[in-house]
Amino acid sequence: MFRFFETLVDPYAHTAEADVPPARLWPFLRDYSRPFKRAFVWAGVTAVIVAVVEIWLLSYMGRLVDLLSTSEPGAFLAENGVELTLVALFILVLRPGLQSLNTLLLNNAILPNFGTHMRWRAHNHVLRQSVGWFENDFAGRIANRIMQAPPAAGEAVFQVFDAIAFAIAYLVGAAILLWGADPRLVLPLLGWLVLYGLLVRWTIARVGPASKASSDARSMTTGRVVDAYSNIHSVKLFAHEGRELEYARDAIEQTRATFQREMRIFTIMDVALVVLNGLLIVGVVGWAIALWVNGAASVGVVAAATALVLRLNAMTGWIMWALTSFFRSLGVVEEGMETIAQPITLRDRPDAKPLQLERGAITFDAVTHHYGGGKGGVTNLSLSIAPGEKVGLIGRSGAGKSTLVKLLLRFYDPEQGRILIDGQDITRITQDSLRHAIGMVQQDSSLLHRSVADNIRYGRADASDADLAAAANKAQAHDFILDLADPEGRQGYAAQVGERGVKLSGGQRQRVALARVILKDAPILVLDEATSALDSEVEAAIQDTLYGMMEGKTVIAIAHRLSTIAAMDRILVIDDGRIIEDGTHDDLLAQGGLYASFWGRQSGGFIDADALQGAAE
């Protein structure tokens, strides 16, 4: 039985990916609710039926009182036994069945699957965002919104069918019941309902914004805390635990203040509700007694009216809490939408085709990109790299080297100009096919918090264990990998490397990253300070491997250690976003320009930062 309801909706069912999701709350929720339409209909119908049954039971209690007051005890069962038996069977069998159906739909078909569906789609959407999008926010805040919004949306859906639909049906049924007993009994109920509606309106108008502010504050707190944990080495290195605590305290205090404002609303609501419910009880019960005194109502009517308003008295707090919880949850969803509903700004064109890479020629055609500002990046840069050519890039920090690589990988689109690979504009090909064709080793090779094997296999998902070991051997990583062990007892290639690979040394991380790129074996290779984390002995050991990796590939290598790029086919000196020198190592030395100055002044094979700055000026 559970399995049937749990599989009624597939939370991972394919849905069309929207590059521009609905920006308003209700269209957003409607879009995410499409797979659940049938389940929602049945949940609403069963909620109404359950409410009708509850009203009928109260009505029948009034009938039972009248039967008891007008029948002789000895003849009561003989006259009413069949009716009472049928009612008992209904209460014992059919009523639990209806209630169980409603509960199974809510608890087993909708709640687990709705949150899962929303989180799955939200994660899918966020993963499609550009690198630049992630660079503009806290990873912790993004993750918090992905985790926080789906359960809030699920809670809102639950309240709609568990409380709101039930409450509406119950109130309508209560009015019909009182009208049937005596139309005048409806008047105090209607008066109370108007006041109750005004209280609901006042509460809802304040709960939504207060909840959104509270949720935003919680996300900020999470972002700051995760930022400290992610950079714990820097925190410890500079002895800034106290500073980080203060930084987090500001956000934590903001969270407390917003939560206090939210709770004030609920306190006012609770006090006002007690007063309103007192008016309801006195109004309806008092009027029913007055009608009975004047002979216009039976004892059963008084009993049914009393039971009804006492039940409403118990329900109103629940209904109000359900309504406020509903709108409070919507506030959390709205806060989450600030991340989940952001449009994908860097996307494949509708007619984008896979890259047809035949030779590996790369062309930068008058490319300009300054990240939306006036400084940094590259300016009107044109460059042609022949198939299989090895090009080295040097320049001071901020000169534009990394920008060039990010544009090639299409982490950003250039503000002006275009980039071609084998004559194909990279904005007209699919991003996945572009990045499959490029292997890159970065200076900061952070790893996934998974096993060594998983990290290396990231280069080629279908690689065998033998392929992994061969790539690790070429990267001089196989031996140290076999010696690894994690706290859970996993060893060798199965050992976990920790978040961002923190359980490995910098050199070990770099060699695992090299193994990953060796395994990928892409036709275009980008090396961004690929050996900077290696000691001289290891670097010397894998130089042959690096040059072997480059064989037959188009290569772009960024380096401050000039000896690592001296043997390249061409070396480009970039300064202030422009190429100012272009030639072989010998040609550039002969020119006596900046490259010659860097070469002459470097210490230990590295560019002297002060000399570089002075030469550039």
**Which residues are bridge partners to 390 per DSSP?**
555
In this predicted structure, what is the pLDDT of residue 615? 42
Pairing of the two strands 438-441 and 524-528: parallel
**In 71-185, alpha helices (H):** 73-89, 95-104, 111-127, 131-135, 139-159, 165-181
Can you tell me the distance from the alpha carbon of 292 to that of 353, in angstroms, rounded to the nearest whole number?
A: 82
User: Both ends of the chain: CA-CA distance in Å?
Assistant: 77
pLDDT in tens, 137-184: 877 788 888 888 888 888 888 888 777 777 777 777 778 777 777 777
Q: Which domains does the chain have, with CATH numbers?
A: 9-223+260-340 (1.20.1560.10), 362-437+522-616 (3.40.50.300)
Pairing of the two strands 524-528 and 554-558: parallel
In this predicted structure, what is the pLDDT of residue 541? 65
Which helix (H) or strand (E) is 308 found in, with range?
A: helix 299-340
Residue type, 356: Q
In this predicted structure, what is the pLDDT of residue 475? 85
In this predicted structure, what is the pLDDT of residue 532? 63
3-state secondary structure 232-298: HHHHHHCCCHHHHHHHHHHHHHHHHHHHHHHHHHHHHHHHHHHHHHHHHHHHHHHHHHHHHHCCCCC
Cβ neighbors of 474 (< 8 A, separation 6 or more) are 514, 515, 518, 542, 545, 548, 549
Query: Residue 425: phi, psi to the nearest 5?
Result: -65, 125
Q: Give 122's Cβ-side CA count (13 Å radius).
A: 27
Can you tell me the distance from the alpha carbon of 572 to that of 585, in angstroms, rounded to the nearest whole number?
A: 10
Can you tell me the distance from the alpha carbon of 402 to that of 440, in angstroms, rounded to the nearest whole number?
A: 12
Crossing angle (nearest 10°) for helices 299-340 and 111-127: 20
Question: Under DSSP, is residue 561 helix (H, G, I), strand (E, B) or coil?
Answer: strand
**Quick one: which of 200, 107, 121 has its CA closest to 154?**
107
In this predicted structure, what is the pLDDT of residue 538? 64
In this predicted structure, what is the pLDDT of residue 469? 93
pLDDT in tens, 427-458: 999 999 999 999 988 877 778 888 999 999 98
**Which residues are bridge partners to 526 per DSSP?**
440, 556
In this predicted structure, what is the pLDDT of residue 407? 93
Q: How many other C-beta atoms are found inside a 10 Å radius of the C-beta of residue 74?
A: 7
What residues in the chain have per-residue pLDDT under 50?
Answer: 603-617
Q: Which residue pairs from 481-490 have beta carbons closer than 8 angstroms and sit at least 24 positions apart in sequence? A: 481/452, 481/512, 484/452, 490/451
Question: Under DSSP, is residue 194 helix (H, G, I), strand (E, B) or coil?
Answer: helix
Can you tell me the distance from the alpha carbon of 523 to that of 466, in angstroms, rounded to the nearest whole number?
A: 22
How are strands ordered across the β-sheet holding 570-575? 438-441, 524-528, 554-558, 390-394, 570-575, 578-583
In this predicted structure, what is the pLDDT of residue 603? 46
At 453, list the tokens: 């094997």
Q: How many other C-beta atoms are found inside a 10 Å radius of the C-beta of residue 349?
A: 11
Question: Under DSSP, is residue 421 helix (H, G, I), strand (E, B) or coil?
Answer: strand
